[in-house]
Amino acid sequence: MTRFKLIVEYDGTDFVGWQRQANGFSIQQALEEAVTAFSGESATISAAGRTDAGVHALRQTVHLDLQRQSDPLTVLKAVNFHLKPARIAVVEAEIAPADFNARFSAVARSYRYRILNRRAPPTVDTGRVWHVVRPLDVQLMQRGAKHLIGKHDFTTFRSSHCQAASPVKTLDSLEVSRSGDEVVIDARARSFLHNQVRAMVGTLKRVGEGRWSPNDVKSALAAHDRSSAGPTAPACGLYLVDVVYPTPSHVKQPRGRKVDQQGQDKLERDQT
């Protein structure tokens, strides 16, 4: 039995989310069916983050176990072949230690939210940004965001369907920036509550529009009441950007190499 760690990119527009569901096609189902088509095995794939319907990923981390003897390059190429035409791709593959777990081994997750802030609607980014017409003051949004950084009870920014045992999370960073017509909100933490990032974005949008002051964010956080925050931002603007692990999850590959999406070997560096 070999455990593989895969880095996966996907456009979540046409899926019901990461997790298998009875009401539609999921990212997990697409990947598991591709693995079965390639290997003949019914592998269960676990992910670092169970993204919602419509949420995208640039570097989602997953793991799976295979009885079949395969090298990472074979797994990458074969799974991508059987994923077609789904908008999902394995961009990296490597062998991982048997105790590596994509979800529970992670020490940090990074999300990005994209807002297109202009009057004209999106064209090439349709389904990949939140279109907000009213001008947003990024400096005010950043001042509001500072109230959310640190360890807090995030009940105000938690979905009623959240299954986390506790609403207390530590938000390591929350940055708001602008590049032309695009406003970007970057969040990093060990883990997040269900809809936490989207609820924070919806709240910061109110601040950016001038409807709330930055201090209103602090009051909303202290209320511990979901109705005290802004609306949940649409899923289309949210991206899982990266997942961080405490130590390299890989073991040495044959000839000391691992593979990326281009099918080219990358020399592994000795990290201690």
Catalytic residue among 11, 52, 216, 242: 52
b/e map 68-88, b = 16+ CB within 10 Å: eebbbbebbbbbbebbeebbb
DSSP letter for each residue of 131-149: EE-S---HHHHHHHHGGG-
The number of angstroms, rounded, from the C-alpha of 169 to the middle of its chain's C-alpha atoms is 17
Rounded Cα gap, residues 27 and 199, in angstroms:
23
Angle at 134 between CA 195 and CA 215, to 5 degrees: 60
Is 99 a known active-site residue? no
From the number of C-beta atoms within 10 Å of its C-beta (0-12, 13-18, 19+), residue 122 rates as middle
Rounded Cα gap, residues 162 and 114, in angstroms:
23
**Distances from the Cα of 272 to the Cα of 114, 247, 251, angstroms:** 36, 8, 13
Under 8 Å between Cβ of 56 and 11: yes
By residue count, the chain amounts to: 272
b/e map 141-175, b = 16+ CB within 10 Å: bbbbbebbbeebebbbbbbeebeeeebebebeebe
Active centre residues (catalytic): 52
